[in-house]
Amino acid sequence: MLYISIDKTKKRSYAEQIYGILREKILSGELSAGESLPSSRELSRELSVARNTVLTAYDRLVSEGAVTSVAGSGYFVSPGAKNVAQKNLMEHRQTASLTDYAISEAAINFDSGLPALDLFPREKWNRAVSRAFLDAPVSALGYDDPQGRPELRRVLCGYLKKTRGITCTPEQIIVTAGTKQGLTLAAKCLLNSESEVWMENPSNANVRKIFSYHTDNIVPFEVDGQGIRPEVFPQDGTPDLIFVTPSHQFPMGGILPLQRRIAMIEFARKSGAYLLEDDYDSTFTYAGQPANSLFELDSDRVIYVGTFSKVLFPSLRLGYLVVPEHLVPQMRELKRLSDHHSNSVYQLGLMRFMESGEVERHIRRMKKVYRTRRDSLLELLRTYFGERVIIYGGGAGMHVVAEFEGVIFSEEVIQKLLKAGVYVVSVERHSLTKGNHRNQIILGYASLTEEDMRRGLDILKEIMM
């Protein structure tokens, strides 16, 4: 029997899932031209779904020419189906958050930036946005405030005070189209070709690339189990910007202790540097409350970057900066010149979603789900690999780093895994000093069920062995 696994917790219909899986098997060559598919009756019994569900999937494959129906004989993969199906390939793929790879929906996707999208309360969100659109002032339908809707910025102030210990005014908040735009605005505001940027190492390669458009002077500082180490900073150093992820170091997962936070602030004050604090996923902390932000310690030297991509869903494209008051005019102008403003109706919908308590309720639900999924992944890694694996960064966030004895995750191996149906990212990709992280990969777990993880680790182990 052809192996097909459908997820009955997903929003996508069974017919859509069956169609997508079979189509991917045809594209990959796993099902070759002329090969017969299981009969609709046989497959419906195997998957415990209605026969019409299977027929709907088969009919769709027939309509696009990937499968041929032969009366009295069944369904067969069409000659040249690989080329026929290729025309609509992107329709059933998603782009990874850390790379530009297109990933099949049928693949086991260990993307560290992907939340459990199937568990997002779409109906509640739809009601909030629909109501926001109907009630929106006329100004929200035109060219709006580059800084963001004042209603959302006001609500954000209360949210940040409650969850991150940040005291700020609505005038210090700039609503962005996600973290990357926030980082880009900060880079444009603070950097030029002579500027020096200090970064954690390893650190998000996308962030490093954003800075590299403005300066070549990027200096790495190796992290340890708690994050960046300000005690090794050259005391006569004068960087313009220091990029840090103190609440959950990316990708290694360290949580910066208070003593180091204070040392970072003291160095910034002495050197004149700005600290760019990327708080990308501290919402999901599994032991106690997340530590307060660096911005709370010094609102003049710290720029705080927040996002709703992990809390809600990435395509929302809403994030925010909290900036020192003296930088607001320049940041606001840069935002205006970038895209004038972020989607005003979505901003108002998000404001309603926050005021109703739905954001905090969703976070509480997801923390329970993600904790369970993290525990499942850790247990499975130990079961599959025993003492051959060392795990980093399980205390918070949506991913861990797994280090495997005697394995090098070269680009060739990563591509081999992707071709086999598993997407992972090597830590080496995010390191400025090559060679220290070749046996480590990032494993996101938030979007994966335990069964997904098992199938992914089966393939990982087979490729590694």
- C-alpha dist (Å) from residue 92 to 19, 27, 109: 10, 12, 14
* pLDDT > 90? residue 8: no
Proportion of the chain above pLDDT 90, given as a percent? 71
- pLDDT tens string 110-157: 999 899 999 999 999 999 999 999 999 999 999 999 999 999 999 999
- Are 377 and 411 within 8 A, CB to CB? no
- φ/ψ of 450, rounded to 5, equals -60, -35
Joined together, the tokens standing for residue 250 give 């990316």
CA angle 165, 167, 169 (to 5 degrees): 145
Domain 14-87: assigned CATH number: 1.10.10.10
- pLDDT tens string 213-243: 999 999 999 999 999 999 999 999 999 999 9
**pLDDT of the residue at 1:** 59
**pLDDT of the residue at 399:** 96
**pLDDT of the residue at 85:** 46
| CATH 3.40.640.10 applies to domain 122-356 | yes
How many CA atoms are closer than 13 Å to the CA of 423, on its beta-carbon side? Answer: 26
Joined together, the tokens standing for residue 105 give 């929906």
- Bridge-partner residues for 174, per DSSP? 321
Joined together, the tokens standing for residue 129 give 């946005």
Q: How far apart are CA 277 and CA 104, in angstroms?
A: 33
**Helix, strand, coil tally for the chain in percent (to 5):** 45, 15, 40
- Are 399 and 378 within 8 A, CB to CB? no
- Are 136 and 151 within 8 A, CB to CB? no
Joined together, the tokens standing for residue 240 give 């313009």
- Are 274 and 230 within 8 A, CB to CB? no
CATH of 92-114+361-464, one of 3.40.50.300, 3.90.1150.10, 3.10.310.10, 1.20.1050.10: 3.90.1150.10
pTM: predicted TM-score of the whole model, two decimal places = 0.80
In 150-308, alpha helices (H) = 150-164, 179-190, 205-212, 258-271
* pLDDT > 90? residue 373: yes
* pLDDT > 80? residue 350: yes
- pLDDT tens string 48-70: 888 988 998 898 888 878 889 88
Q: How far apart are CA 154 and CA 300, in angstroms?
A: 20
- For CATH 1.10.10.10, the residue range(s) in the chain are 14-87
- C-alpha dist (Å) from residue 134 to 137, 140, 141, 267, 296: 9, 11, 11, 50, 37
* pLDDT > 50? residue 91: no
To which residue do tokens 């009969």 refer? 39
- For CATH 3.90.1150.10, the residue range(s) in the chain are 92-114+361-464
- For CATH 3.40.640.10, the residue range(s) in the chain are 122-356
Q: How far apart are CA 343 and CA 167, in angstroms?
A: 25
- pLDDT tens string 379-388: 999 999 999 9
Proportion of the chain above pLDDT 70, given as a percent? 95
* pLDDT > 90? residue 29: no
Q: How far apart are CA 106 and CA 24, in angstroms?
A: 7
- pLDDT tens string 290-322: 777 999 999 999 999 999 999 999 999 999 999
Contacts 24+ apart (CB under 8 A), 8-12: 9/118, 9/449, 10/118, 11/118, 11/122
Mean pLDDT of the chain: 91
**pLDDT of the residue at 66:** 86
